[in-house]
Structure 1
């Protein structure tokens, strides 16, 4: 069975324990294994690259992506990604 492409841009994103943001329009520049989540003011207005493997459910009618992660796990993912791009020390 062939997979079909679903454009997730603008979809609401919920963690296990609450709303975290929306799929950012810049997701189209990532590979198909990640989505870029715009967290708005929740994590200081940042974007987090979330692996598709963290998607627990996709509700196309409700335009919602449900993640198999908590809000705290997403914050840690953001911290890890930031550290990878801006390492400290020498």
Structure 2
């Protein structure tokens, strides 16, 4: 992801599309995407840590995640851009995604 502009890429959870990348942060320790969910989550944006990205297809302009739509929806609420610089908020988002099940082969 570092050095790549992913703005506008479609973001896919394991069970469907969640939205498009609105912006990204490549700062070490705070790397994430802000994804505009459109009408899926009532016009809200969600913050996605890069650690849950499982693939980037630059030709298809698509990013795949290792989580479901419901897991993204249940993540700590993203309200304002200032949260993208708040270590406490970023820590809570990171902790949430780290706790998700890793094995999806059942």
Measured in 2, the distance between the counterparts of 1:50 and 1:4 equals 15
**Which residues of structure 2 form unaligned runs of 5+?**
80-87, 90-106
| Structure 2 contact 46–78 (Cα < 8 Å) conserved | no
> What is aligned with 2:84?
none
Q: Which runs of 4+ in 1 moved over 3 A?
A: 82-85
Residue in structure 1 matching 2:61, options 53, 60, 63: 63
* TM-score (norm: length of structure 1): 0.77
Measured in 1, the distance between the counterparts of 2:78 and 2:33 equals 16
Residue in structure 2 matching 1:40, options 1, 25, 38: 38
Compare relative contact order (CA 8 Å, sep 6+) and give the higher one, 1 or 2: 1
Tell which structure's C-alpha radius of gyration is larger. Answer: 1
- When the two structures are aligned, how many residues end up with a matched partner? 78
**Greater mean alpha carbon deviation, residues 30-39 or residues 15-24:** 30-39
SS in 1 for 2:77: helix
